Amino acid sequence: MAGRKIRVLVVDDSAVVRQTLADILDADPDIEVMATASDPFVAAERIRREVPDVITLDVEMPRMDGLTFLRKIMAQHPVPVVMCSSLTEEGSETLVEAMEAGAVDVIAKPRLGTKQFLLESGVRIRDAVKAAVRAKLGPVGRPPRRLAVEAKLSADVIMPPPAPTRALARTTQRVVCIGASTGGTESLRNVLEALEPDSPGIVIVQHMPEMFTAAFARRLDGLCRIEVKEAADGDTVLPGRALIAPGNRHMLLQRSGARYFVTIKDGPLVARHRPSVDVLFRSAAQHAGGNALGILMTGMGDDGAKGLLEMKRAGASTVAQDEESCVVFGMPKEAIALGAADRVVPLRLIPTEIMRMRTS
So which residues are the catalytic ones? 181, 207, 303
Radius of gyration of the chain (CA): 20
Residue 40 near residue 63 (C-beta atoms within 8 A): yes
Amino acid 224 reads C
> Cis peptide leading into 78, omega within 30 of 0?
no
Which is it for the CA torsion 188, 234, 256, 287, positive or negative? positive
**What gap in Å lies between CA 303 and CA 324, rounded to an integer?**
20
Per DSSP, the three-state class of 127 is: helix
Residues counted in the chain: 360
- Do the bridges between strand 54-58 and strand 81-85 make them parallel or antiparallel, or are there none, so unpaired? parallel
Angle of CA points 307, 309, 310, to nearest 5° = 65
